[in-house]
């Protein structure tokens, strides 16, 4: 199966920091077009294209943009969320290191649409080597007058500042990200107010994922009809997928939305490594659903994956072979979430740790049926009571794995031997 | 206006208000925990959850705004279950030694647990934070094991007082509210104002309890001599369950006598004495080119703040001691001599609205009588505990006057309790001393009230004296910025660390602005009701200067009633 490279069109073909290279491949043409358009026309174009966010929630991009445009304020911001923290995910890094100008162009188009003149790229702390690439690329883009004052002679000004994170997963949550840029502890804010009306420094803010922004230029250049023809009806366009785990060919691939998961695993990635069997797949990163081997004939677009109990999220596919234990995988997930909770709200701060401890108890062969009930009750509570998405999604791998691998949990309760959790519990 | 439905009730409410506000307007109670009516919305405890039709998630009523057509359920089975489940998570982390917790009976978590009828056992492994109780401060006990991370104290200290002694460390399950860098409270810039104690819903921040010291001194046969601060008579009844602002000076004296205090004096007297010394000092500074603006020094939290953040500007502080620290040496010298009591046998106790007074009486400068001038400072909350312990039925007590020779103080001393009170009291006296005329209108309304900065001008025989009043250390920081820049064009500034002045102090019963306003009104009413309303006109003041001190700013007055300040800027390192 062939990749469809729209976002990765320049990967390994141009010097990523050279604005001139980018321009020679048709770069900044979309921006030039956008600069001659009314803000509303740009938003309408994205609306017609049906673009949805690529960071996690799959929210219609034009709606976010419309909120920020409608907000009345002299100062507005465009923020690029490059805090790619979802375990196993590398797609934003690939975009930023191979074609950063496509992201800048998207940000500038967004700025023109909502009336912003300043943008921030919030870069994941663990990507320090990306920082100089972005810095150089921004300087070159300024020199080419594609950023800065009077962009492309249009009179419109927009500039970008890079801001490094400090290593907290929760800062990928948009409002925690704002807090972090503002110099505060990275804790999410309650909503409403939403960022579109009150975001960074209290100003109307449009925040998009790297990949979402990279879609703006191709859409403007080729038109919404072109975009609609790619992908599935509810999720037009392509998607970057990071395939990780026990497959032969791991990596970042670009496919139209709706590509079949089974085909990705077996055709694109060469199947399970070392000839082992498939146990499970987790879609959308650590906060995604864990499905079993019988469920992988699944079109990967936003709505289909949601229907499976998880979400497409950032497009990360963790393939798990049958030498693993699902309870152990979930334990590992929970260990991640409990240490990444900001500690602000009760359900996530306390619940995350108790979930982890209960799962550990099951791993240790000391779990009871009552513990299983507690796990379900707690996970369901966290899902509806936590302050932000981190607390809501901690429950997802727990609940979906319980649904799809109930017998594995029960065999731990029964004291059956588990080769991974390692103990022959006997009686 | 928007139309909403709460629990089947149709309501017209203002657009943009929160669900909690809307529910309260309809007398529907939604339980809360981190919410505090005088503070920012936090939305972190997740107790005030409600169900909104069409939404999968439950929303926090404290932060979620109403919108047209919204249908809200505040007590559906889903909501009740979720609230209990969240509360269970809090309880799994909270020591359950309620019966011997200082907050027993006044704890918001206790109330909530009762309200939610939390009758089932906790399903999780108990995991109490392994941290030690920090009793290093003279005024505040910090027990991090009890903290529920509502962050009210952080806001009170950082946003309100602009100090930020405590903040969050670590994240997730390990999150904790602590002073920075593993410091104990006494090693920090904490000014002991107790505003954090006032907002803590649980027993994580409480007042250092010195009541046992009183019993010990009683037991050992000491003569217990107490001074009662102006605001105490306004808040003690409230601490014992009566309405905010109920004055009870007479009943208070009766109760203290029942508790075994031998002498109970009215610290309105020493407030009057402060006015005499401070007023004459001001006139002296104006006349002889002294350092101006002069700034009040009766608030020990403010004094420590100034010594820490503006050590070069302590020369602006009046050298006159606070009323508490004036009364101390007066008791152990003048009173002891007069009543032929060995000062070594006196236990001098102050009853204060203030936690910082505990710090002040232990300052090394405060030993001018040859002994520690004030031995123990008790807050209103502690005295209320003693009254309860003794089984005294406060509501039905007869009234007893304060003891002589200090008798009844003036209305000027009385209003020390409220922000602007010291200034107003000083102006009443200074005006008459300078002009020799009787002040026609005693009420200086310009310096009253709760504005952040209050200013006034008074014509003293052709000299215009400009004064300013601030309360809350955020406002104090602001005005010190002006003093440093040389743009504080005033002769005299009053600073009180607590919002609202002493009547809002950290040692009072738990405050909110509504209560502070009621207390303040009561203070000014008591001023109006007093026979003498000017400090220099009370008998006790006239007598002590005649018999003992000579005149204001005399050598003896300087020795006993004035002090010096130190540099504490190292606390910032």
**3-class secondary structure for B332-359?**
HHHHHHHCCCCHHHEEEEEEECCCHHHH
What tens-digit pLDDT sequence spans chain B (573 residues)? 999 999 999 999 999 999 999 999 999 999 999 999 999 999 999 999 999 999 999 999 999 999 999 999 999 999 999 999 999 999 999 998 999 999 999 999 999 999 999 989 999 998 899 889 999 999 999 999 999 999 999 999 999 999 999 999 999 999 999 999 999 999 999 999 999 999 999 999 999 999 999 999 999 999 999 999 999 999 999 999 999 999 999 999 999 999 999 999 999 999 999 999 999 999 999 999 999 999 999 999 999 999 999 999 999 999 999 999 999 999 999 999 999 999 999 999 999 999 999 999 999 999 999 999 999 999 999 999 999 999 999 999 999 999 999 988 999 999 999 999 999 999 999 999 999 999 989 999 999 999 999 999 999 888 899 999 999 999 999 999 999 999 999 999 999 999 999 999 999 999 999 999 999 999 999 999 999 999 999 999 999 999 999 999 999 999 999 999 999 999 998
Query: Is residue B508 within 8 Å of B309, Cβ to Cβ?
Result: no
The SS3 assignment for A234 reads coil
Interface of B with A in 88-107 (CB under 8 A): 89-90, 92-93
Domain with CATH 3.40.50.11540 in chain A: 19-228
Task: Tell whether the torsion through CA atoms of B173, B177, B179 and B183 is positive or negative.
Answer: negative
CB contact under 8 A, A381 and B43: no
Query: Choosing among B18, B89, B93, B151, which should be mutated to test the A contact, i.e. which has the most A CBs within 10 A?
Result: B89
B359 contacts B376 by C-beta, under 8 angstroms: no
Min distance A64 CA to chain B CA atoms (Å): 19
Taking a C-beta distance cutoff of 8 angstroms, is the pair A107, A207 a contact?
no
Is the torsion defined by CA of A397, A399, A401, A404 positive or negative?
A: negative
Q: B315 and B285 in contact (C-beta within 8 Å)?
A: no
Angle at CA B207, nearest 5°, toward B218 and B272? 70
pTM of the model: 0.95
Cα separation of B480 and B445, whole Å?
A: 24
The pLDDT of residue A424 is 63
Please state the rounded mean pLDDT for residues A95-113. 98
Q: How far B192 CA sits from the closest chain A CA (Å)?
A: 26
Which CATH architecture is the domain A19-228 placed in? 3-Layer(aba) Sandwich (3.40)
* B120 Cβ under 8 Å from any chain A Cβ: no
Q: In chain A, whose CA is at the least distance from the CA of B125?
A: A354
Cβ-contact B385, B358 below 8 angstroms: no
A183 touches chain B (CB under 8 A): no
Q: B401 vs A232, B271, B349, B405, CA distance in Å?
A: 87, 18, 18, 12
Q: Give yes or no for B8 touching A (CB within 8 A).
A: no
Question: Is B477:B309 a contact under the CB 8 Å cutoff?
Answer: yes
Give me the sheet containing A316-321, strands edge to edge: A251-256, A238-245, A316-321, A278-283, A290-292
Asked if A180 is an interface residue toward chain B (Cβ–Cβ < 8 A), one would say: no
Phi, psi of A191 (to 5 degrees): -135, 150
Cα–Cα distance between A405 and A391 in angstroms, integer? 22
Same-domain pairing of B155 and B256: no
Final residue of a structural domain among B207, B240, B271: B207
Would you call the peptide bond into B293 cis, given omega within 30 degrees of 0 as the criterion? yes
Q: Is B67 on the interface with A (CB under 8 A)?
A: no
Task: Note which residues in 194-233 of chain B have CB less than 8 A from chain A.
Answer: none
Q: B43 an active-site residue?
A: no
- Residues 142-201 of chain B with CB under 8 A from chain A are 149, 168, 170-175
Q: Judge if B192 and B233 occupy the same domain.
A: no
Instruction: Report CB contact under 8 Å: B82, A385.
Output: yes
Identify whether B360 is a catalytic site residue. yes
Among B91, B118, B146, the domain boundary falls at B91
Facing A346 at nearest CB: one of B45, B81, B174: B45
Q: Going by C-beta distance under 8 Å and a sequence separation of 6 or more, which residues neighbour residue A208?
A: A53, A55, A61, A64, A78, A79, A80, A81, A106, A110
Q: How far is CA B61 from the centre of its chain?
A: 30
Calpha distance B305→B300 (Å, rounded): 8
CB A315 within 8 A of CB A54: yes
B63 & B134 share domain: no
Rg of chain B in Å (alpha carbons): 25
Alpha carbon distance B159, B472 (integer Å): 10
> For A175-199, how does the pLDDT look when each residue is reduced to its tens digit (9 = 90+)?
999 999 999 999 999 999 999 999 9
Q: Who has greater pLDDT, A91 or A427?
A: A91
- CB within 8 Å: A354 and B92: yes
DSSP B77-106: HHHHHHHHHHHHHHHTTS---GGG-TTTTS
Residues of each domain in chain A carrying CATH 3.10.20.600: 238-321
Return the beta strands (E) in A62-117 as ranges: 77-82
Give catalytic status of residue B437 as yes or no: no
Is residue B364 domain-shared with residue B491, that is, in the same domain? yes
Radius of gyration of chain A, Cα coordinates, nearest whole angstrom: 22
Q: Which of residues B207, B226, B252 is at a domain's end?
A: B207
3-state secondary structure of B117: coil
Same domain, B130 and B256: no
- Residue A374 to residue B174, Cβ atoms within 8 A: no
Average pLDDT of every residue of chain A: 95
A352 in reach of chain B (CB within 8 A): yes
CB contact (8 A) between residue A192 and residue B64: yes
Angle at B551 between CA B547 and CA B553, to 5 degrees: 130
Options B298, B306, B347, B354, the catalytic residue: B298
Structural domains counted in chain B: 3
One domain, residues B247 and B385: yes
User: Which residues constitute the domain of residue B291?
Assistant: 211-572
CATH topology of domain A326-414: de novo design (two linked rop proteins) (1.20.1440)
DSSP summary character for residue A55:
S
Distance in angstroms (rounded) separating the CA atoms of residues B495 and A323: 71
Residues of chain B contacting A346 with CB distance shorter than 8 Å: 44-47, 86, 89-90, 149
Report the DSSP beta bridge partners of residue B142. B134, B205
Domain with CATH 1.20.1440.230 in chain A: 326-414
Grouping H, G, I as helix, E, B as strand and the rest as coil, residue A203 is coil
Subunit contact B172:A341, Cβ cutoff 8 A? yes
Same domain, B187 and B281: no
Q: pLDDT-based confidence at A396, cuts 50/70/90?
A: very high
Distance CA A291, CA A62 (A): 31
Chain B residues within an 8 Å CB radius of A385? 46, 49, 57-58, 82, 85-86
pLDDT at A426 over 70: no
* Inter-chain CB proximity A381 and B82 less than 8 Å: yes
A423 band by pLDDT with thresholds 50, 70 and 90: low
Domain check: are B203 and B215 in the same one? no
Report d(CA B530, CA B414) in Å as an integer. 9
Classify strands B492-496 and B463-471 as parallel, antiparallel or unpaired: parallel
Give B445's DSSP letter.
G
Q: What is the spatial distance between Cα A226 and Cα A237, in angstroms, rounded to a whole number? A: 9
pLDDT in the model for residue A409: 95
CATH number for position B37? 3.10.20.740
* Known active-site residue B440: no
DSSP-derived 3-state class of residue B250: helix
Contact B256, B226 (CB under 8 A): yes
Query: Could you tell me the CATH number of the domain that includes residue B154?
Result: 3.30.70.20
- Rounded distance, CA B413 to CA B322, Å? 12
- Cβ contact, residue pair B44, A387, below 8 Å: yes
What pLDDT was estimated at residue A425?
59
* pLDDT value of position B547: 96
Crossing angle of the two packed helices B268-287 and B421-435, in degrees rounded to 10: 60
Q: Which of B360, B382, B432, B494 is catalytic?
A: B360
Inter-chain residue contact B58 with A385, CB threshold 8 Å? yes
In degrees, to the nearest 5, what angle opens at C-alpha A92 toward C-alphas A87 and A94? 105
Instruction: Mark whether B196 is an active-site residue.
Output: no
Note whether A341 contacts B173, CB cutoff 8 Å: yes
Share of chain A above pLDDT 90, in %: 92
Say if residue B278 is in the same domain as residue B187.
Answer: no
Q: Sort out which chain A residues have CB atoms less than 8 A from B85's CB and list them.
A: 377-378, 381, 385
CATH class belonging to A238-321: alpha beta
Q: Is the pLDDT of residue A427 over 50?
A: no
């Amino acid at each position: 199966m062939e990749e469809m490279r729209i976002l990765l069109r320049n990967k390994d073909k141009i010097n990523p920091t050279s604005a001139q290279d980018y321009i020679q491949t048709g770069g900044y043409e979309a921006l030039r077009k956008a600069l001659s358009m009314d803000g509303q026309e740009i938003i309408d174009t994205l609306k017609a294209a049906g673009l949805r966010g690529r960071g996690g929630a799959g929210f219609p991009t034009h709606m976010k943009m419309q909120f920020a445009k409608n907000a009345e304020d002299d100062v507005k911001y465009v923020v690029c969320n490059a805090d790619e923290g979802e375990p196993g995910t590398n797609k934003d890094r690939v975009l930023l290191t191979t074609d950063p100008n496509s992201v800048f162009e998207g940000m500038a188009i967004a700025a023109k649409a909502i009336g912003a003149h300043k943008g921030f790229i919030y870069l994941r702390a663990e990507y320090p080597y990306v920082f100089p690439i972005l810095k150089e690329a921004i300087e070159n883009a300024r020199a080419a007058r594609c950023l800065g004052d009077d962009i492309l002679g249009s009179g419109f000004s927009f500039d970008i500042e890079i801001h490094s994170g400090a290593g907290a997963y929760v800062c990928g949550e948009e409002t925690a990200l704002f807090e972090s840029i503002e110099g505060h502890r990275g804790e999410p804010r309650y909503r409403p107010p939403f960022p579109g009306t009150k975001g960074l420094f209290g100003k109307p803010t449009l925040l998009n994922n790297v990949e979402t922004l990279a879609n703006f230029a191709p859409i403007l250049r080729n038109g919404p009809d072109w975009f609609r023809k790619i992908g599935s009806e509810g999720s037009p366009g392509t998607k970057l997928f990071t395939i990780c785990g026990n497959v032969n060919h791991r990596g970042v691939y670009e496919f139209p939305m709706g590509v079949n998961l089974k085909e990705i695993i077996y055709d694109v990635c060469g199947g399970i490594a070392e000839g082992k069997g498939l146990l499970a797949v987790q879609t959308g990163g650590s906060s995604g659903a864990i499905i079993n081997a019988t469920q992988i004939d699944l079109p990967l677009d936003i709505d289909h994956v949601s229907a499976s109990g998880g979400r497409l999220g950032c497009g990360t596919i963790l393939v798990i072979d049958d030498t693993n234990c699902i309870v152990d995988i979930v334990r590992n997930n929970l260990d991640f979430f409990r240490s990444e909770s900001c500690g602000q709200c009760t359900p996530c701060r306390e619940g995350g740790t108790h979930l982890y401890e209960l799962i550990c108890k099951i791993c240790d062969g000391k779990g009871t049926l009552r513990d299983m009930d507690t796990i379900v009750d707690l996970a369901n509570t966290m899902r509806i009571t936590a302050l932000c998405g981190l607390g809501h999604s901690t429950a997802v791998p727990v609940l979906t794995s319980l649904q799809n691998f109930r017998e594995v949990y029960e065999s731990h309760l029964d004291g059956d031997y588990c080769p991974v959790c390692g103990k022959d519990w006997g009686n | 206006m928007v139309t909403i439905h709460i629990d089947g009730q149709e309501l017209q409410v203002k657009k943009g208000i929160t669900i909690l506000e809307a529910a309260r307007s309809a007398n529907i109670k939604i339980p809360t925990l981190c919410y505090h009516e005088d503070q920012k919305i936090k939305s972190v405890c997740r107790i005030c959850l409600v169900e909104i039709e069409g939404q999968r998630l439950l929303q926090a009523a404290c932060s979620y705004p109403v919108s047209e057509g919204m249908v809200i359920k505040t007590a559906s089975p889903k909501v009740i279950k979720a609230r209990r489940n969240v509360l269970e998570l809090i309880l799994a982390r909270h020591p359950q030694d309620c019966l011997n917790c200082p907050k027993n009976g006044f704890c918001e978590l206790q109330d909530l647990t009762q309200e939610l009828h939390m009758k089932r056992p906790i399903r999780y492994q108990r995991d109490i934070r392994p941290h030690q109780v920090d009793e290093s401060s003279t005024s505040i006990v910090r027990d991090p094991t009890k903290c529920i991370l509502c962050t009210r104290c952080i806001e009170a200290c950082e946003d309100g007082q602009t100090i930020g002694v405590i903040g969050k460390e670590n994240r997730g399950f390990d999150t904790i509210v602590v002073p920075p860098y593993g410091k104990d409270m006494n090693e920090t810039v904490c000014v002991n104002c107790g505003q954090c104690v006032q907002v803590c819903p649980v027993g994580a921040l409480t007042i250092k309890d010195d009541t046992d010291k009183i019993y010990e001194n009683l037991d050992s046969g000491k003569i217990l001599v107490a001074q009662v601060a102006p605001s105490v008579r306004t808040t003690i009844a409230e601490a014992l369950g009566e309405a905010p602002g109920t004055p009870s000076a007479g009943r208070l004296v009766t109760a203290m006598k029942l508790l075994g205090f031998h002498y109970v004096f009215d610290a309105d007297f020493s407030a009057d004495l402060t006015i005499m010394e401070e007023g004459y000092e001001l006139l002296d500074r104006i006349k002889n080119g002294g350092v101006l603006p002069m700034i009040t020094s009766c608030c020990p939290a403010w004094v420590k703040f100034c010594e820490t953040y503006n050590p070069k500007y302590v020369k602006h502080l009046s050298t006159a001691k606070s009323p508490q620290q004036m009364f101390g040496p007066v008791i152990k010298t003048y009173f002891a001599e007069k009543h032929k009591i060995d000062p070594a046998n006196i236990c001098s106790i102050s009853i204060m609205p203030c936690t910082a007074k505990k710090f002040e009486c232990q300052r090394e400068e405060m030993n001018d009588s040859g002994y520690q001038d004030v031995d123990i400072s008790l807050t209103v909350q502690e005295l209320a505990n003693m009254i309860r312990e003794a089984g005294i039925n406060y509501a039905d007590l007869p009234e007893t006057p304060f003891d002589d020779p200090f008798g009844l103080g003036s209305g000027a001393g009385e209003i020390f309790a409220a922000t602007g009170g010291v200034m107003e009291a000083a102006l009443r006296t200074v005006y008459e001393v300078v002009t020799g005329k009787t002040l026609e209108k005693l009420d200086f309304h310009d310096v009253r009230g709760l504005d952040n900065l209050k200013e006034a001008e008074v014509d003293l025989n052709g000299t215009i004296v400009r004064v300013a009043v601030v309360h809350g250390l955020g406002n104090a920081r602001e005005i010190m910025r002006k003093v440093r820049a040389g743009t504080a064009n005033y002769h005299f500034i009053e600073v009180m660390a607590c919002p609202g002045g002493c009547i809002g102090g950290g040692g009072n019963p738990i405050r909110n602005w509504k209560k502070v306003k009621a207390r303040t009104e009561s203070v000014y009413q008591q001023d109006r009701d007093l026979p003498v309303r000017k400090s220099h006109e009370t008998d006790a003041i006239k007598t002590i200067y005649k018999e003992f001190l000579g005149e204001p700013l005399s050598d003896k007055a300087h020795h006993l009633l004035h002090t010096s300040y130190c540099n504490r800027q190292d606390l910032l390192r």
